[in-house]
Amino acid sequence: MSSPAVPSTPTGTTSISILLYSNDRSVRDAVRIGVGERPADDVVVERWMECATPEVTLIEAQTGDYDLLVLDGESQPYGGMGVCRQLKNELFDCPPVLVLTGRPGDGWLATWSQADAVLSRPLDEARLTAAIADLARR
């Protein structure tokens, strides 16, 4: 259901839409502010969709035509790693997924979730923008 990121200008800039899941508004705000509108010279975030519940996230991922998903592994009641695994197993052509973990030691869980990239907290803005740009270029 996902379409690949589409260059928006002849200069090679890639315009992307991002689905962001976290039940914690402060996490959603930190990710949006950290990524900004232009995470790299060649990547522009055209659209954000924020979801606070796993049910809405699953529906949006299936119907919203997103280029990239950012899922909070610490969300309650259903974490982003479980949502990621479900989407990777059920959604044909699932977009790339960045999972945010609570600690570096949770990397093995993110591997289980089939995430394409993993970042642990506290979020580092440079690593966050680099991960978003890398996934957008895939």
For the stretch 52-87, pLDDT in tens is: 999 999 999 999 899 999 999 999 999 999 999 999
What pTM does this model have?
Answer: 0.90
Residues 1, 63 contacting (CB under 8 angstroms):
yes
Q: Is 2's pLDDT higher than 60? A: no
**Alpha-carbon Rg of the chain, whole angstroms?**
14
For the stretch 92-130, pLDDT in tens is: 999 999 999 988 888 888 889 999 999 999 999 999 999
pLDDT at 105 (0 to 100): 83
| 6-137: CATH, from 3.30.420.40, 3.50.50.60, 3.40.50.2300, 3.20.20.70 | 3.40.50.2300
